[in-house]
Amino acid sequence: MQVLVTGGAGYIGSHTVLSLLQSQYDVVVLDNLSNSSVESIKRVEHITGKSVTFIEGDVCDKAKLRQVFSDYTIESVIHFAALKAVGESAQIPLSYYQTNVHGSVCLLEVMQENKVNNFIFSSSATVYGEENQVPYVETMKLGTPSSPYGATKVMVERILADVALANAKFRGVSLRYFNPIGAHESGMIGEDPKGIPNNLLPYVAQVAVGKRDKLSIFGDDYPTQDGSCERDYLHVMDLAQGHVAALDWLNCHGDFTGVEAFNLGTGNGVSVFAIVNTFEQATDQRIPFEVSPRRAGDLAAFWANATKANQALNWQAKRSLQQMMIDTWRWQSNNPNGYLEQ
């Protein structure tokens, strides 16, 4: 059984490909390498001792997609490929709608042509928007995200609902990730952002390794326990295993049709100050920081109610916050320039 993983060379994709291989799935990756390196795939092959079929290509290229579906026996698709920088999405929104929405439509069309109905989508906690109260639970209505990036995730979730209404055989899963951090315990694969990191942990790790002087903490006057924002951070390997759990669930529930959403998070909110403290304690590194003004679009605090994934998928985020920090640091200190060093 072959699984097509779009965006499989990226941060979450590469960890998921590793988990799929270790669970005996046969993986075909399609990635245009716009935000990744094929080195991640080579390292996944090295760690697992298994091979991956890698195809360089764009999810908006339907001819390429058709070729992939004709060359391989694809039974399921895990769709990571997307642009994901929230700030950038406000500068070049059309590129975000093109890649994230149009790319998903192209993929779904070619799946339909080939009668492939199993689809797992990378959604985000951002789909709950500003309207919903924490903890977020899947029964809540989709909200209004503060960025074009977030809007693309809401749109694709709506598209999936319509596809399921039109196609009685469609079997879709939206996995709503909270804040994935960390790296595989080998220290060989991890998050390798291009340019200045937008997200907290890559920035902290680059300060620790001496690439940046100090961290800016965006706001200490939020209505939270210590005034900084709270998020639900989960280990990327737990998240990767959530995809295997979702695929196993689809495979074990042959009678399921429609679309189901699952939150993938720990269920705990952790502040920015707590992240800095835990990183320092776990790694023995010092993180100089300053408090800066709030970042536009940030919500004060959100975390998951992860009961549904726990009960239905038998999945739980197991790795501790300390483990997330140790693994982030192992990856960053072994690879100060990410995959570039090869």
Rounded least distance, CB 97 to ligand NAD, Å: 12
Of 65 and 270, which CB lies nearer to ligand UD1 in the complex structure? 270
Cα atoms in the 13 Å half-sphere on the side-chain side of 293: 3
Residue 116 class from Cβ within 10 Å (0-12 exposed, 13-18 middle, 19+ buried)? buried
Give the residue, chosen from 23, 34, 320, 322, that forms a contact with ligand NAD under the rule CB under 6 A: 34
Instruction: Take residue 147 and report the two structure tokens written for it.
Output: 């960025």
How many of the chain's residues bind ligand NAD (CB under 6 A)? 28
**117 vs 328, beta carbon nearer ligand UD1:** 328
The residues in 55-84 that bind ligand NAD, with binding defined as CB under 6 A, are 58-60, 80-84
106 near ligand NAD (CB under 6 A): no
117 to 156: interface string for ligand NAD, x by CB under 6 A: -----x-x--------------------------------
Instruction: Supply the DSSP string of 168-211, one letter for each residue.
Output: TT-EEEEEEE-EEE---TTSSS----SSS--SHHHHHHHHHTTS
Active site residue 96: no
2 binds, among ligand NAD, ligand UD1, none (CB under 5 to 8 A by kind): none
Q: How far is Cα 330 from Cα 167, in angstroms, rounded to an integer?
A: 46
Helices (H), the chain: 11-22, 39-48, 62-71, 86-91, 93-96, 103-113, 148-166, 200-208, 236-252, 272-283, 307-312, 321-334
Q: Which of 149, 177, 233, 339 is catalytic?
A: 149
Shortest gap between Cβ of 254 and ligand NAD (angstroms)?
A: 27
User: Which parts of this chain interact with ligand UD1 (CB under 6 A)?
Assistant: 84, 86, 124, 126, 150, 179, 198-200, 203, 215-218, 229, 231, 272, 295, 297-298
Q: Give the catalytic positions in this structure.
A: 149
